[in-house]
Chain A
Amino acid sequence: MSSRTEGALAHHFETLEQQAEAGALGMWAFLIQEVMFFGGLFTVYLVYRTLHPAAFVQGSAHLPIDLGTLNTGVLIGSSLTMALAVRGAQLGRGKNAALFILATMLLACVFLGIKGLEYSHKWHDQLVPGLNWNPGPDADAHLNLFYALYFVMTGCHALHMLIGLALMVVVARKAWRGGYSPGNFLGVECLGLYWHFVDLVWIFLFPLLYLLGRHGPHS
């Protein structure tokens, strides 16, 4: 272990433990900025939902609750496989970790596929503001705001998933080749934190976009 430790320890740290703690703390600080990034979007959502509740009710009602629920399940599954990948790395089972990351990637692709299907339905229904927008005569005058936010919020989320997929390729390769050890698996740990965060965002996006206010404003 000692020879491996020397290679893995950067020159400016005293111990692997210090290095791992600094890395994890840095990742958490980075996640704070992610919370605020999506937080800005949630704020816009909050304000426009307050200003135009009827438009948001109408928009919500149009989104397919079945596909949304299914996709939430898929993403939760990917979070589980990612947690198991981290556990594999903790135990020093590199190949096991790599395989679980691969499973996570597959589930992520399923999620993106279903998301793409939903997008294509929106395009077909002419519900893409700015590009293909013709919501029909019964549409609320401000329905464009709901759909603009729908696309920006889910789009930012999907972009984060794509970045996650790219990172997974790198980490899975390294894990497969035995690049991590029980004392040194920071890369897998940070990837895990990132992926769980992506899951977290969706846990809130799903009810806010698909579920809230399906029964109309009551105030």
Chain B
Amino acid sequence: MVLIHEQASLMSEHGHVLPLRIYFGVFFALLAGTALTSWVATIDLGHLNDAVALAIAGTKAALVILFFMHVRYSSKLIWVFSLAGFVWLVLFFVLILADYETRVPVQGWG
């Protein structure tokens, strides 16, 4: 195939040139995810609505990071860097909710 030939000639050069079908595959997956999440939002699933929307968003984000941003083909160091911010954010969320989820209304107020 042309793609294979193209790929072989390119891997020797700098970086990782991905075949076009990967980019377009990811693109259509992202569009499908967008359509899906908007459609699901119109159906009442109770608590599941939030979970589904965030799961789809997380999957889309992972696709962008792994393929568009080439992390799948990058060094371990870049893997760590691409995750660090999100891990930190989760810590922030957990500790701040430790306050808001456990506040007890003061007696005699309000």
CA distance A215 to B44 in the complex (A): 6
B81 contacts across to A, CB distance below 8 A: 25, 28-29, 31-32
**Contacting B34 at CB < 8 Å: which of A69, A80, A213?**
A69
Q: Are A207 and B93 in contact (CB under 8 A)?
A: no
B14 contacts across to A, CB distance below 8 A: 16-17, 20, 90, 182-185
Q: A77 within 8 Å of B by Cβ?
A: yes
Q: Which residues A27-80 have CB closer than 8 A to chain B? A: 28-29, 31-36, 39, 42-43, 46-47, 50-51, 65, 68-69, 72-73, 76-77, 79-80
- Could you tell me the dominant secondary structure of chain B's interface residues? helix
Mark each residue of chain B from 6 to 17: 1 if its CB lies under 8 Å from any CB of chain A, else 0: 000010011101
Residues of A within 8 A of B (CB): 16-17, 20, 24-25, 28-29, 31-36, 39, 42-43, 46-47, 50-51, 65, 68-69, 72-73, 76-77, 79-80, 82-84, 87, 90-91, 182-185, 192-193, 196-197, 199-200, 203-204, 206-207, 210-215, 218-219
Residues of B within 8 A of A (CB): 10, 13-15, 17-18, 20, 23-24, 26-27, 30-31, 34-35, 37-38, 41-42, 44-47, 49-50, 53-54, 56-57, 60-61, 64-65, 67-69, 77-78, 81-82, 84-86, 88-89, 92-93, 96-97, 100-101
